[in-house]
Structures are given as structure tokens and as C-alpha cells.
Amino acid sequence: MTLPVQLLCENLRCDIRPDLGGAIAGLWLADVPVLRSTTTAAELSSARQAGSYPLVPFSNRVGHASLQWAGTSHPLIKNNAPEPHAIHGVGWQSPWEVLESGPQFALLSYEHKADAAWPFAFDSSQAFRLTADTLELTLSITNQSDVAAPAGLGWHPYFVKRANSRLTFEATGRWEMNDEKLPTERRSVQGLDVDCASLDVDHCFDGWQGVVHLRDEQLHTQIRASVSRLVVYTHPTRDFVAIEPVSHVNNAINLMEHTGVPAQELGVCVLQPGESLSVDMSIQVERVA
């Protein structure tokens, strides 16, 4: 096992597991967990149970693990049984290399060779920066294949859902989902301002203004990102709220091919050979007085 990386700045601490998908094992303000967190990073056994993990080179689902691109159907690996889809990219199920590590900064990298999980080669990096009240993250991808390739990025953080947790953000649209958890149509909405206890949601919002507030009796957490789409998932039986800044709509590449909707409208980035895409997210946290 690659040794965990720990970042510490005053009362804020972040533990990272490079070997488990470059995932965050925990984020705490003093003794209060901000994200779903293991007591120690070594206890984390799967990125799927982490506090957060990177989404690269796509977020959410590619329907029925079949990528439709440039007139060709590419069968992908169904990587989250028993689901029939490919989900959350490939980075979260791969070990990352530590390029640099210090008390408040870490830089990880992952190199993907074209395979059955994703037919386009790419390099990716994650940068983590910690201040006294904020975790800043940058996720990047460079197309290393010799053809134009679709790309998307994001994060899948699981925030602790405590008593009286309230979620607030602005958006202009929400994609409705079918029974297979794939988007069907876009409806105009105004985002959410709701208590999380009874919230049942698993949707991608677009026209997101780039800021989310999550407040409870202990913490006020502010999530900011340089993308305009946000996937939110929770249920009354869950003890977390997944708040996922992402660059594209769920199943966007296939939607683009099937419907003719332009790539830009769905958030799909088309990278030419050697081109890169980078996105940023920050998690700022403070105690409630």
C-alpha cells in the first residue's frame, strides 16, 4: 500500500489515499468530520466508501457501458456491478502516483493507456491545497491519444448529513431520470433550498451558479467550483449528501450522439491530441457560532 498523505493547517486536516483512486479518506475541522471520513486513512478499503474521489475522464454514467463517439460504438467495462452502466470514469478505481507532498500541498498523477475501460489514452493530475479553513482542489486531464477524444471531469464528495442540515444553491435546469438512472429530459428549476432530512434526489442540475451552501448545527460548508453542472444525491435513509461539481450532464456523450444536441450545450469537452482541460473546486468550512 502506498502510504497515505496527510495535509494539516491549523484545525483543518485532510487525509488522502493515492493507492485507492487518489481518494480523500477524510476531511475534518478539529474533531468534526466535513466529509464522510474514516478514523484513519489506513482504514479505508475502497474508494467507493471514501469522503471524495475524482471523476475522470467522465462523471456519472455512460449508459449500458456503450460509448457512442464519432460514429463508433465502444463497449466499456461495467465497473459497478450490478449496474448495467460504466460509472464515474476510471480514475477512482486506479492507483495514483504521488509527485509532490508537503504539510499543506500534494500533487498526484495518473496515466491511462487505452483499454476496454476507456478507449482513449490520457494523463491526469490532482492538486490538493489546504489553508486554515479551505481545501482547494484542481483536477486536470490531457488527451494522449492520436485522435480527438471526449473528456469530462468532476468530484464525488460525500458530505456528512447531520441534524438540521440545509442545502442551498441556484440553478436553471434539472435533468429528469428514468428507472435506469439515465437522464431523459431537462426541466427548468431554480435550484434547491431545502432541509436534507427528507430530501430524495438523484439528479444533475445545470445552469448552476458555482456555489453551494450546506449548513447544520455545527458547520457551515461552502462548496465552489469552476463548472456549471452539479449532481446531487441523497435519500432519507442516507447519512450523507453527495454534492458533485461536474463538467457535463450525465450520459452526455451518448446524449450528444443520439440527439444531436451540441457538445457545448451538454458540457462535453472535445480534446484534440495534446490538449488539456482543468477544473477547480474548493470546500470552505467554518464552525457555526
Q: What is the mean pLDDT of the chain?
A: 96
Query: CA-CA distance, 186 to 199, in Å (whole number)?
Result: 20
Residue 261: its pLDDT value, please?
85
Instruction: Tell me what the mean pLDDT of segment 93-98 comes to.
Output: 98
Q: Does the pLDDT at position 259 exceed 90? A: no
% of the chain at pLDDT higher than 90? 94
Q: What is the average per-residue pLDDT within 146-152?
A: 97
Mean pLDDT of 196-213: 97
Residue 1 has pLDDT above 70, yes or no: no
Measured distance CA(234)–CA(251) in Å, rounded = 20
CA-CA distances (angstroms) from residue 110 to 65, 91, 122, 126?
A: 22, 7, 9, 9
pTM: 0.96
| Gyration radius (Cα) of the chain, Å | 18
Is the pLDDT confidence value at 99 over 90? yes
Residues paired with residue 133 on neighbouring β-strands, in sequence order: none
Q: What is the set of domains in the chain, with CATH numbers?
A: 5-287 (2.70.98.10)
pLDDT at 238 over 80: yes
Q: pLDDT-derived band of residue 258, with 50, 70 and 90 as boundaries?
A: confident
- Residue 51 is predicted with a pLDDT of 98
